[in-house]
């Protein structure tokens, strides 16, 4: 069961037109990474619990057969919270199942987590990873036997001395749903985990790759980690031993520096420099002498001559006029048009369809 009920507001404008689960990450919809990870651990039956824009999630992912998975969707009439959403799907669940937060990129060893769950006889086993700043997460202290001594969701500063957080991947026994009232908004983190402390709540601590992709900076980090092979994923095979994928039918006249992934139909003009850490989606064009570094440019976008794109995300079907600079964590939403000689930087977010005239913005 994967929870994807959130609106993904912090990833706007990428999520203004496309729900977060199916936002393109490197070369596939984000959710495909999760489904491939699950499939790799033998999971063949997945339920997605959706709220916001459920139909477009379904349109992109279909019935899962392309990935060897049976994919079903449950739509909430209104957000029911993480436990409420689970309760709604109770009749579809088996005795033991996995529950996943739908916004993390990870390669946690679920097979070992399930084995530990069976060994300890837990009612719930939470995957745990260490992070530098745990304040935005569910924080855990473990007993030596792996049971949870303390769980606090988003603790106040100094409330809990631990860097171990819940990674949003759980092995659960269906009977814990007896603790959840139906048709109510219930948070599993605030109302269920605390009640299971000392009563069957265990942690599976690991050091696997883990990233919540919920902000533009993290989206870029996740992209770079995928094309550098820091996280196991299906993209690795495409990159080969030189960490450079240039699809058939792409035409690169300038220079490409790995790691980089350049999809079919891309045209890079003379003197342009692509990389390192760049993804160019299908049919992107890059003009003469432009520089693209640590950036993602999604399909159909056209970049003029003499542009500089660094540390930025440009969504599909945008236009960037000659001599413009897009840097400093800026994000252009779908269909944005930036005229010549503009500077877009300092985390600026330009919303879908916006048109900026020539020379309109400088810093």
The candidate with the shortest Cα–Cα distance to 186, out of 114, 258, 79, 259, is 79
Pick out residues in 200-229 that bind Mg ion (CB under 5 A): 212
Q: In the complex with ligand GDD, which residue's Cβ is closer, 40 or 79?
A: 79
Torsion of CA 13, 18, 19, 25, to 10 degrees: -80
In terms of C-beta density within 10 A (0-12 exposed, 13-18 middle, 19 or more buried), how is residue 183 classed? exposed
List CB contacts of 90: < 8 A, sequence separation 6 or more. 174, 177
In terms of C-beta density within 10 A (0-12 exposed, 13-18 middle, 19 or more buried), how is residue 174 classed? middle
Q: Does residue 154 have an active-site annotation?
A: yes
Q: How far is the CB of 275 from ligand GDD (least distance, A)?
A: 30
Pick out residues in 100-119 that bind Mg ion (CB under 5 A): 103
Pick out residues in 173-202 that bind ligand GDD (CB under 6 A): 189
Query: Of the listed pieces 23-31, 80-88, 256-264, 342-350, which binds ligand GDD according to CB under 6 A?
Result: 80-88
Cα Rg of the chain, angstroms: 22
CB 178 within 8 A of CB 191: no
Q: How far is the CB of 153 from ligand GDD (least distance, A)?
A: 5
Q: In the complex with ligand GDD, which residue's Cβ is closer, 79 or 271?
A: 79
Q: Catalytic residue among 154, 163, 299, 325, which?
A: 154
What DSSP state is assigned to residue 259? S
> How far apart, in whole angstroms, are the C-alpha atoms of residue 324 and residue 320?
7
Q: Does 189 bind Mg ion (CB under 5 A)?
A: no
Helix (H, G, I), strand (E, B) or coil at 151: strand
Q: In the complex with ligand GDD, which residue's Cβ is closer, 128 or 320?
A: 128
- How many residues line the site for ligand GDD (CB under 6 A)? 24
Query: Of the listed pieces 29-37, 57-65, 160-168, 258-266, which binds ligand GDD according to CB under 6 A?
Result: 160-168
Pick out residues in 90-129 that bind ligand GDD (CB under 6 A): 101-104
Nearest residue to ligand GDD, by Cβ distance, number only: 5
List CB contacts of 165: < 8 A, sequence separation 6 or more. 128, 129, 130, 131, 134, 137, 138, 139, 140
Q: Binding residue for ligand GDD (CB under 6 A) from 85, 186, 269, 326? A: 85
Binding site for ligand GDD (CB under 6 A): 3-6, 49, 51, 76, 79-82, 85, 101-104, 137-138, 153, 165-166, 168, 189, 212
Q: Residues with catalytic annotation?
A: 154
Using CB under 5 A, list all residues that contact Mg ion. Answer: 103, 212
């Amino acid at each position: 069961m994967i929870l994807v009920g959130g609106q993904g507001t912090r990833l706007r404008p990428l999520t203004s037109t496309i729900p977060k689960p199916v936002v393109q990450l490197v070369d596939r919809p984000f959710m495909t990474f999760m489904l491939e990870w699950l499939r790799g651990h033998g999971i063949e039956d997945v339920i997605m619990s959706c709220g916001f824009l459920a139909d477009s999630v379904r349109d992109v992912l279909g019935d899962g057969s392309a990935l060897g998975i049976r994919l079903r969707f449950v739509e909430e009439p209104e957000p029911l919270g993480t436990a409420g959403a689970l309760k709604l799907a109770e009749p579809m669940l088996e005795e033991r199942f996995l529950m996943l937060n739908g916004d993390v990129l990870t390669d946690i060893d679920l097979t070992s987590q399930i084995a530990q769950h069976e060994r300890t006889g837990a009612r719930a086993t939470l995957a745990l990873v260490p992070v530098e700043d745990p304040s935005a997460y569910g924080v855990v202290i473990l007993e030596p036997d792996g049971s949870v001594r303390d769980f606090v969701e988003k603790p106040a500063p100094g409330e809990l001395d631990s860097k171990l957080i819940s990674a949003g991947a759980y092995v659960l026994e269906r009977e814990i749903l007896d603790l959840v009232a139906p048709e109510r908004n219930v948070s599993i983190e605030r109302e269920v985990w605390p009640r299971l402390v000392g009563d069957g709540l265990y942690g599976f601590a690991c050091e696997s790759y883990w990233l919540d992709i919920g902000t533009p900076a993290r989206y870029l980090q996740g992209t770079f980690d995928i094309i550098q092979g820091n996280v196991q994923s299906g993209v690795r095979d495409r990159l080969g031993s030189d960490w450079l994928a240039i699809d058939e039918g792409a035409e690169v006249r300038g220079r490409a520096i790995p790691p980089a992934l350049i999809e079919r139909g891309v045209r890079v003009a003379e003197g342009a420099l692509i990389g390192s850490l760049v993804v160019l989606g299908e049919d992107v064009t890059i003009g003469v002498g432009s520089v693209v570094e640590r950036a993602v440019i999604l399909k159909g976008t056209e970049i003029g001559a003499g542009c500089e794109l660094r540390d930025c995300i440009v969504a599909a079907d945008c236009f960037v006029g000659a001599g413009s600079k897009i840097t400093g964590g800026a994000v252009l939403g779908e269909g944005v048009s930036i005229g010549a000689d503009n500077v877009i930087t300092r985390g600026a977010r330009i919303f879908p369809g916006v048109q900026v005239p020539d020379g309109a913005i400088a810093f």
